[in-house]
Structure 1
């Protein structure tokens, strides 16, 4: 039987998640991670693997802990409610914590050196998977008559995700919650109406 680890792996992962969230993948050093976890570098290697593997673990934790609004949104009865819940959920998450605003998946690796390419690609795939889930939900909405015949579920899904990503970038730049809520409402004001009446206050 191996020696038990001398630190709480779950608490360490939560602490390092916040560092990645605040500083991004490239901006986070091993010194940052060891300071957050309260352990030395060999212990991190033993528990999580290298920095890339640690970031992937942090991203999984981020999904589990903070992105529950997204699958919940997909279960709402109308496409406009789905879009509203996603956009207002993005505003809430990206402005909730003053010490790490923005989105881990956006802050994580917008650009970087060649050795960071696997992480950048993983985040591209992560965002694309979310957009595809939304597209499928909007395809269903169109089939049910909740979106007009001329609506493009693919374009609408891309639109919602583009606005979401823009909100994340603006939150990271210091734009406040009230303005970002107004941005979300402005985006929703263009939502195409189908046969079902849209709710007055989507996503709230």
Structure 2
């Protein structure tokens, strides 16, 4: 999105003009409006207008709560977590980190687990051709490799990793130190296993 790029380029005036225009254009498109509210929240958070950022995130979440569970809802919860943390509302921030984790895990399971009907059909076909157990295991391995190499899967794992890391940060603020250590460890394990040790997120978690 051009407005997001303008924010990254350090052009806040251009960014807010584009975002306000996008808000008008998305008036009858709830998905687009929720996305625009998220981007407006990012703009105001970057401008340290945290309460205004929180207001836009609440608007985005109100829209997304009426829609089927989607990956974007997890992103909104993570943005809420970040803003609430800056406002020192760490208990609420922690709750939003948990919500992000639940949503990402649910979407990963729904979208990336093998279809049971497809597995049963493949199993029957292998049995009909007297396929060996080794062939069956190889087929499952190929299916898993295909699943975990997709861009969508890795994008969601990145969000899940960040969610666990943010949860750990909030747990530290809440003096839940044992839980924080476990959450940091979980974030690192997800990153190393599914994103690779050379990924930027993985490297940041080891610093």
TM over 0.5: no
Of structures 1 and 2, the one scoring higher in RCO (CA 8 A, sep 6+) is: 1
TM-score, normalised by the number of residues in structure 1: 0.36
- Relative to its length, the structure with more helix (as a share) is 2
TM-score w.r.t. the length of structure 2 is 0.35
Indicate the structure (1 or 2) with the bigger Cα radius of gyration: 2
